Copies of this chain bind each other. A is one copy, B any other.
Amino acid sequence: VISMPVSERKLIERIRRSVRGGASVVTGIGDDSAVLRVPPGNEVLVTTDFSIENVHFRRDWPAELVGWRCLTRGLSDVAAMGGEPLAVFLSLAIAKDVPQKWVDRFLNGLLDLAKEFKVPLAGGDTAQSTAGVQADIVVIGSVPKGEAILRSGANPGDLIYVTGHLGAAADALARLKLPKPGRAKRVSAQLSRHRPVPRIAIGRWLRQRGIASAMIDLSDGLSTDLSHICEESRVGAEIEAGAIPRAQGGTQKTLVALELALHGGDDYELLFTSDPSVLLPSKVAGVGVTRIGRITKSRGMRLLTNGRARRLQAGGWEHFRGGK
């Protein structure tokens, strides 16, 4: 894992210095593979997420935020299983024209989040890219045997919940795509403030109590991620438009548009289902939990607005693409 052309030595040295051996890391960077210890009676969670320049982020975004969000994607996947993160691996390809300072700031953002969750960066790979930056984040986690919360466990009649507020990231990104004179700096500051926090504590809380029948993280947007739950559980869903907890929008002190809360991605909140007999507190681990609908036997998704139902499609988040 440590082998790389000499030109990448600086990068790997920087990463190597950042590496902290957690209790779970027996051998980290410096061997062919990392060696991890998994708590007895636990299964291993593995998730990989690519973050690609001009697809998932732009280089003119705050680099710390790009690094932070890169790792958020992985940690959020572990949270959505009710798991605990054990170690992080970063495969990073960097083109020659990317300034060292950008890479340093990217790593700082990523390591800030790793520190916050006490997850060691235990290895990875570095390479030269022929164009731009490509980062693949691998998060290894653990969960007590048989207790992982899957997408496939939702039952008709279960209530649907989300954590936090939705649409803030999509709102900030929409502004970035439509730059107006003098606005770029303000939007960038807004984006910087929006550092999504993976909901590890909430996932753990739900898993320990056996409360969630199914769970997913909101990375692609409520409508798309709910459709995954429906697909894997072979059920349908009904959502109350008015119940969706919309985030505050940018500088205007109003709520974001319903469309952004429904279809915007990158919120990294959790969506889960639970038997209607279960009473949930309004907050878990300091974060609001809101009931937004229920699972139905009939397939497909419906959106209820003032009692009127219309078909809800997986509108999904289209990642930003260069050239569009």
Question: A30: CB under 8 A from chain B?
Answer: yes
Task: Report yes or no: B45 in contact with A77, Cβ–Cβ below 8 A.
Answer: no
* Chain A positions 102-150 with a Cβ under 8 Å from a chain B Cβ: 122-132, 134, 136, 138-141, 143, 145, 148, 150
A47-55, A60-68, A188-196, A293-301: which lies at the interface: A47-55
Question: A246 contacts the other chain (Cβ, under 8 Å)?
Answer: no
Known: A3-B224, A151-B32. A128 touches B321 (CB 8 A): yes
Of A80-88, A281-289, A303-311, the one touching chain B: A80-88
Inter-chain CA distance A136–B81, complex, in Å, is 23
Residues of B contacting A6 in the complex (Cβ-Cβ under 8 angstroms): 316
**Which residue of chain B has its CB nearest to the CB of A80?**
B32
By beta carbon, the residue of chain B nearest A215 is B32
Out of B33, B81, B123, name the residue touching A31 (CB < 8 Å).
B81
Q: Chain A: interface residue count, which band?
A: 35 or more
CB-based contact B53/A44 at 8 Å? no
Residue A89 lies at the interface, judged by CB distance under 8 Å to chain B: yes
CB <8 Å contact, A1 and B32: no
- Please determine whether B316 and A35 come into contact, CB atoms closer than 8 angstroms: no
Residues from chain B with a CB closer than 8 A to the CB of A136 are 48, 50, 91, 125, 136
Is A183 in contact with chain B by the CB < 8 A criterion?
no
Contact A47 B33 (CB under 8 A): yes
Binding site for B on A (CB under 8 A): 1-3, 5-6, 26-27, 30-38, 40, 43-50, 52-56, 76-78, 80-81, 83, 87, 89, 91, 93, 122-132, 134, 136, 138-141, 143, 145, 148, 150-152, 215-217, 219-220, 224-225, 228, 232, 316, 318-319, 321-322
The 4 A-B pairs at the shortest CB distance, nearest first, are namely A32-B80, A136-B136, A33-B45, A33-B47
Can you identify 27 A-B contacts, CB atoms within 8 angstroms? A1-B47, A26-B43, A27-B148, A31-B148, A33-B45, A33-B77, A34-B47, A35-B43, A35-B81, A35-B143, A37-B44, A38-B44, A46-B123, A46-B138, A48-B123, A50-B93, A50-B127, A50-B136, A52-B93, A52-B127, A55-B128, A55-B129, A91-B136, A129-B134, A130-B131, A131-B131, A131-B132
